Structure 1
């Protein structure tokens, strides 16, 4: 688990799950879409929202969720 100012990232078996502090799910990143590299970056303290990470199908993570497309 990685905690940021307004959200948390959880590592599950095959995805990273992004939640706001109220527990609402913002989105997921599959390990097939770069989750392993993202895990390494999280371990280095990289903030996914500040860095503009995407979910692999063109949605950029934000505190409002991923966007219109869903994985």
Structure 2
């Protein structure tokens, strides 16, 4: 019984870590310091071309390409 509970807990932990960062999995953010605006840092996604500004440390946590019109 203890072995089964251990497997369930291990499965849950693996599922949580596998899901972490799924919103930006396809995005490869690169910082573009030439476009910074004050304390906002500009980032550009090398995969889809989306641009985003963040005030927090590090790249955006969600993909910004959703809802954009397709490029012609």
The TM-score normalised by the length of structure 1 is 0.36
- Pair member with larger Rg: 2
The TM-score normalised by the length of structure 2 is 0.36
Q: More helix per residue: 1 or 2?
A: 2
